[in-house]
């Protein structure tokens, strides 16, 4: 059995490092979590600090690992300066596909589809998979085709333009979610739709014309100059139309894929496009889709693990068939001793963690910082670095945004006890994917007013995380304690970070937020900290 | 130079692609530079950018590319409006080869290639040595064949080894590959486009330090 370091990041966004030892995932660390620079604020990162953090945590230097693999491109300067050993390189989209399929847990025939703004040679690929084998059957040629993801990314640059330092105010690979969150509050606009179709259209497994980037940048900038983004409502209208356009084009694409491969009714997805949870909902609602899965680290941050999985398979040491994640807590962890030592300088008090006390605090409306285990892999907080609040007050959205100094328009998301999921949400396929908060669901009418803080008002959807007792026992337990008091098997879960910072990594970063009054109490492992 | 809508354009392929835009209006246009590779019918995007009147933009390459320049404008009701397409076409044009040979063997090898090339591609060749003076404006295309040091134009971009959004990695804008590893015929074949446009042409690969 061997040790395998997987890495991604050739002066690009979303670098990361992963480590698999003896067929088991040990760590997956995104660069932004350790550098504290949001990935969308740095398009030139290399996986330097994420590698160092794993080397220190696990005690294995990269030069001593049995295998080192990159997802293309490999960062040559980093290799020359830091690594100085043999390594292998796997194709970008092949790593996306591997991350999706081999963690999907799906048996039988599976379609594996990747789609993003572009990686080396392709922006999308289609694989047919069965019994652990994946075969690529179709792909575009990135240099000569269009890309939906780039319409999103480069529209962002155009909407607010740049500040006096030349920095875009809304950024690609960072603020797409903001725009998506505004869509339900906007109205479809036929003229905007026409503009979008001019940028990129679709027919028969081909997106065209080429140069989506140049066309989007020009169109978005001219729209801004001509007043199309002058008010929040106008931006919402653009968002609504862009979402409609994205769903239309992608669902046509998916329909064409289904026509070619009708025996495949399970789909695994990866690539930045599938951070679009509304799009994912539309896919999940298709009659012919039995089940879908979105790789939790769906963007380029997921490539390092994808590469390591491919090597692991080659060696016959694991992932020979698709596995399921128990959770994605592959980040850095801290023991009680380390945490206590860090806490001393903040002048905070501590008491042992008792779930029922935190359940009561939630019921009283307190804002609870929740820090456990290794941090999550992927863009979502899933109960390792979360902020928990009761979901019953509509005013929570405003209060939480003020405390976190966030000005997002996206609603907050619910964590739901698994046993009650079907009671609350309408279409309940693909529950494994819902454990990673990558799908929206329609909410049943009787629940909309019970949990208003986590429901999108305009379309009554939510982006839930299903919490299972066997997989996330500690998270399940605290929600259950809240449920016993309130009768609501749901808590609001938002990521543990303030505005413009990545989700927190270390206890120190959590203590800062407690000290500054962003949260009322802080649960870290076996203790509760308070001011 | 030509007039198009309310603008004027001067587009030359002498050193790659160079564009000068004039006119009284301040509305930008979208310039897209495409490149056809080998026998592919769909071009690849080489570069695209906005231009306004009074600007000069370049996509400088010392080596051959079959370029196509697309010009589009914005209309607030119609959206993106295509204005014109200009395609590189060296047939019956004056093409200059500026040679910087190390020795007679270089000169012979390079001359033989040029002699064969102009018949195939139907241009009018002129050969000069590097030390000779010439008027650039007389030529449709200029190829500087030699072993160039980096930064010939002193204009190293942020990505001299890899251009975002294209398929190609290359060594410098003068030589697509590191000439210290190449024979004389490989050096000229790279520059005049023979290498990359063969049926199984090499996709130039470099090892840029900063990536």
Q: Is A218 on the interface with B (CB under 8 A)?
A: yes
Tell me whether A144 touches chain B (CB under 8 Å): yes
Helix axes A277-284, A232-260, angle to 10 degrees: 40
Query: Which chain A residues touch B44 with a CB distance below 8 Å?
Result: 143-144, 210
Q: Strand A349-352 vs strand A291-294: parallel, antiparallel, or unpaired?
A: unpaired
* pTM, 2 dp: 0.92
Instruction: Check CB contact under 8 Å for A211 and B45.
Output: yes
Burial class (CB in 10 A: 0-12, 13-18, 19+), A402: exposed
By the 8 A CB rule, do A386 and A362 touch? Answer: no
Which one of B42, B72, B79 has the shortest CB-CB distance to A144? B42
Quick one: closest CA in B to A76, which residue? B211
Q: Is A337 exposed, middle or buried (0-12, 13-18, 19+ CB in 10 A)?
A: exposed
B126 interfacial to chain A (CB closer than 8 Å) = no
What is the full per-residue pLDDT of chain A (531 aa) written as tens digits? 899 999 998 778 899 999 999 999 999 999 999 999 998 888 888 999 999 999 999 999 999 999 999 998 777 778 777 888 899 999 999 999 999 999 999 999 999 999 998 877 789 999 999 999 999 999 998 777 889 999 999 999 999 898 888 888 888 888 898 899 899 999 999 999 999 999 999 999 999 998 999 999 999 999 999 999 999 999 999 999 999 999 999 999 999 999 999 999 999 999 999 999 999 999 999 999 999 999 999 999 999 999 999 999 999 999 999 999 999 999 999 998 889 888 889 989 899 999 999 999 999 999 999 999 999 999 999 999 999 999 999 888 788 888 888 766 667 999 999 999 999 999 889 999 999 999 999 999 999 999 999 999 889 999 999 999 999 999 999 999 999 999 999 999 999 998 889 999 999 999 999 999 999 999 999 999 998
**Which residues of chain A does B72 touch, with a Cβ-Cβ cutoff of 8 Å?**
218
Q: What are the beta bridge partners of residue B51?
A: B29
- What is the rounded distance in angstroms from the CA atom of residue A278 to the CA atom of residue A461? 9
Q: Which of A11, A144, A215 sits opposite B211 (nearest CB)?
A: A11
Q: In this structure, what token pair is assigned to residue A515?
A: 């000290």
Q: Which residues contact A124 (CB under 8 A, 6 or more apart)?
A: A93, A113, A114, A115, A116, A139, A140, A147, A207, A271
Query: Which alpha helices (H) appear in A405-444, and where do they start and end?
Result: 421-424, 431-434
Q: Look at B211 and A121 and tell me if their CB atoms are within 8 Å.
A: no
Instruction: Let me know if A365 is exposed, middle or buried by CB neighbors in 10 A (0-12, 13-18, 19+).
Output: middle
B68 CB neighbours in chain A (<8 A) are none
Q: Does B48 touch chain A (CB under 8 A)?
A: yes
- Distance of alpha carbon A107 from the chain centroid: 24
Contact B48 A198 (CB under 8 A): no
Q: What is the ipTM of this complex?
A: 0.88
């Amino acid at each position: 059995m061997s040790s395998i370091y997987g890495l991604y990041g050739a002066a690009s966004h979303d670098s990361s490092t992963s480590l698999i030892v003896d067929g088991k995932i040990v760590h997956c660390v995104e660069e932004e979590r350790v550098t504290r620079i949001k990935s969308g604020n740095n398009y030139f990162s290399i996986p330097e600090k994420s590698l160092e953090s794993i080397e220190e945590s696990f005690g294995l230097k990269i030069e001593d690992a049995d295998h080192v693999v990159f997802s293309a491109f490999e960062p040559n300067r980093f290799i020359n300066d830091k690594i100085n050993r043999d390594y292998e390189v796997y194709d970008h989209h092949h790593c996306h596909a591997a991350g999706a399929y081999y963690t999907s847990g799906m048996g039988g025939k599976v379609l594996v589809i990747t789609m993003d703004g572009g990686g080396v040679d392709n922006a999308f690929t289609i694989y047919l998979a069965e019994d652990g084998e994946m075969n690529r059957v179709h792909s575009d040629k990135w240099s000569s085709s269009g890309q939906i993801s780039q319409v999103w990314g480069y529209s962002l640059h155009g909407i607010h333009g740049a500040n006096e330092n030349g920095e875009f105010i809304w950024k690609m690979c960072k603020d797409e979610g903001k725009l998506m969150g505004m869509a339900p509050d906007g109205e479809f606009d036929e003229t905007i739709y026409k503009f979008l179709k001019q940028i990129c259209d679709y027919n028969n497994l081909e997106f065209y014309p080429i140069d989506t980037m140049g066309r989007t940048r020009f169109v978005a900038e001219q729209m801004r100059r001509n007043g199309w983004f002058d008010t929040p409502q106008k931006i919402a209208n653009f968002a609504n139309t862009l979402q409609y356009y994205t769903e239309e084009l992608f669902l046509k694409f998916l329909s064409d894929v289904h026509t070619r491969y009708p025996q495949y009714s399970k789909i695994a997805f990866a690539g930045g496009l599938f951070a679009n949870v509304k799009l994912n909902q539309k896919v999940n609602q298709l009659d012919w889709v039995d089940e879908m899965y979105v790789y939790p680290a769906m963007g380029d941050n997921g490539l390092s693990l994808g590469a390591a999985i491919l090597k692991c398979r080659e060696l016959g040491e694991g992932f020979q068939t698709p596995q399921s994640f128990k959770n994605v807590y592959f980040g850095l962890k801290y023991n009680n001793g380390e945490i206590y030592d860090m806490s001393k300088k903040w002048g905070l008090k501590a008491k042992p963690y008792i779930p029922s006390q935190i359940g009561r605090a939630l019921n009283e409306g307190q804002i609870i910082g929740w820090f456990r285990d290794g941090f999550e892999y992927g863009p979502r907080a899933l109960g390792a670095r979360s902020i928990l609040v009761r979901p019953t007050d509509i005013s929570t959205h405003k209060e939480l945004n003020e405390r976190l100094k966030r000005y997002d328009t996206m609603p907050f998301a619910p964590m739901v006890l698994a046993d009650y999921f079907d009671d609350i949400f309408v279409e309940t396929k693909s529950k494994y994917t819902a454990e990673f908060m990558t799908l929206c669901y329609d909410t049943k009418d009787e629940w909309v007013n019970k949990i208003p803080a986590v429901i999108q008002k305009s379309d009554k959807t939510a982006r839930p995380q299903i919490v299972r007792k066997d997989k996330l026992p500690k998270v399940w337990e605290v929600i259950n304690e809240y449920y016993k008091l309130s009768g609501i098997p749901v808590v609001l879960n938002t990521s543990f970070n303030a505005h413009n910072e990545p989700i927190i990594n270390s206890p120190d970063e959590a203590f800062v937020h407690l000290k500054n009054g962003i949260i009322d109490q802080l649960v870290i492992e076996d203790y509760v900290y308070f001011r | 130079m030509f007039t198009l809508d309310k603008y004027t354009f001067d587009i030359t392929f002498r050193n790659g692609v160079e564009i000068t835009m004039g006119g009284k209006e301040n509305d930008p246009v979208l310039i897209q530079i495409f490149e056809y590779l080998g026998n592919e019918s769909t071009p690849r995007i080489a570069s695209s950018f906005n231009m306004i009147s009074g600007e000069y933009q370049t996509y400088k390459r010392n080596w051959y590319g079959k370029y196509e320049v697309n010009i589009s404008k914005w209309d607030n009701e119609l959206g993106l409006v295509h204005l014109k397409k200009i395609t590189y076409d060296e047939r019956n044009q004056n093409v200059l080869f500026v040679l910087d040979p190390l020795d007679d063997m270089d000169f012979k090898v390079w001359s033989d290639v040029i002699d064969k090339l102009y018949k195939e591609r139907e241009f009018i060749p002129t050969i000069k040595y590097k030390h000779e003076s010439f008027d650039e404006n007389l030529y449709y295309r200029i190829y500087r064949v030699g072993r160039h040091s980096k930064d010939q134009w002193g204009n190293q971009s942020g990505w001299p080894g890899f251009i975002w959004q294209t398929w190609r990695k290359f060594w410098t804008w003068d030589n697509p590959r590191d000439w210290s590893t190449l024979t004389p015929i490989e050096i000229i074949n790279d520059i005049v486009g023979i290498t990359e446009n063969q049926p199984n042409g090499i996709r130039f690969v470099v090892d840029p330090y900063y990536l």
